[in-house]
Amino acid sequence: MTATTDGSTGAAWPSRVPAASETDTHTDSDIPVATGVPDVAARAMRRATDFLLSRQDDQGWWKGDLETNVTMDAEDLLLRQFLGIGDEDTTRAAALFIRGEQRQDGTWATFHGGPGELSTTIEAYVALRLAGDPPDAPHMARASAWIREQGGIAASRVFTRIWLALFGWWKWEDLPELPPELIWFPSWLPLNIYDFGCWARQTIVPLTIVSAKRPVRPAPFPLDELHTDPHRPNPPRPLAPAASWDGAFQRLDKGLHTLRKAVPRRLRRAAVNAAARWIIERQENDGCWGGIQPPAVYSIIALHLLGYDLNHPVMRAGLESLDRFAVWREDGARMVEACQSPVWDTCLATIALADAGLPADHPQLVKAADWMLGEQIVRPGDWSVRRPHLPPGGWAFEFHNDNYPDIDDTAEVVLALRRVKHHDPERLDNAIGRGVRWNLGMQSKNGAWGAFDVDNTSPFPNRLPFCDFGEVIDPPSADVTAHVVEMLAVEGLAHDPRTRRGLQWLLAEQEPNGAWFGRWGVNYIYGTGSVVPALAAAGIPGSHPAIRRAVAWLESVQNDDGGWGEDLRSYRYAREWSGRGASTASQTAWALMALLAAGERESRAVERGIEWLAATQREDGSWDEPYFTGTGFPWDFSINYHLYRQVFPLTALGRYVHGEPFAKRPVVAKADPDEAEATKEQSLAEAKGS
Any idea which residues carry the catalytic annotation? Answer: 408
Cα(278)–Cα(176) distance, integer angstroms: 22
Contact yes or no for 239/250 (Cβ under 8 A) = yes
Cα(480)–Cα(502) distance, integer angstroms: 10
Task: Indicate the Cα dihedral angle 386, 387, 388, 390, nearest 10°.
Answer: -170
Contact yes or no for 341/398 (Cβ under 8 A) = yes
3 state SS for 342-409: HHHHHHHHHHHHHHCCCCCCCHHHHHHHHHHHHCCCCCCCHHHHCCCCCCCCCECCCCCCCCCCEHHH
Nearest 5°: phi and psi at 474? -130, 65
Contact yes or no for 415/486 (Cβ under 8 A) = yes
Name 669's bridge partners.
493
Cα(607)–Cα(38) distance, integer angstroms: 9
Contact yes or no for 479/518 (Cβ under 8 A) = yes
Coil vs helix vs strand at 292: strand
Q: Which CA distances in Å does 419 have to 51, 161, 428, 541, 662?
A: 20, 49, 11, 23, 10
Cα(491)–Cα(669) distance, integer angstroms: 9
Q: How many residues in the chain?
A: 690
The one-letter amino acid at 347: C
Angle between helices 37-54 and 342-355 (to 10 degrees): 140
* Distant-in-sequence, close-in-space partners of 126: CB < 8 Å, separation ≥ 6: 74, 78, 163, 164, 169, 223
* Distant-in-sequence, close-in-space partners of 216: CB < 8 Å, separation ≥ 6: 165, 166, 167, 168, 172
3 state SS for 573-620: CHHHHCCCCCCCHHHHHHHHHHHHHCCCCCCHHHHHHHHHHHHHCCCC
User: Residue-wise over 567-601: b if at least 16 C-beta within 10 A, else e?
Assistant: bbbbbeebeebbbbbbbbbbbbbbbbbbbbbbbbb
What radius of gyration do the chain's Cα atoms show?
A: 25
Cα(71)–Cα(116) distance, integer angstroms: 13
Contact yes or no for 637/42 (Cβ under 8 A) = no
Coil vs helix vs strand at 2: strand
Q: Which CA distances in Å does 518 have to 325, 455, 479, 593, 631?
A: 27, 19, 6, 15, 9
Of 244, 292, 274, the residue nearest 179 (C-alpha): 274
The dihedral sign for the CA sequence 392, 396, 402, 406 = negative
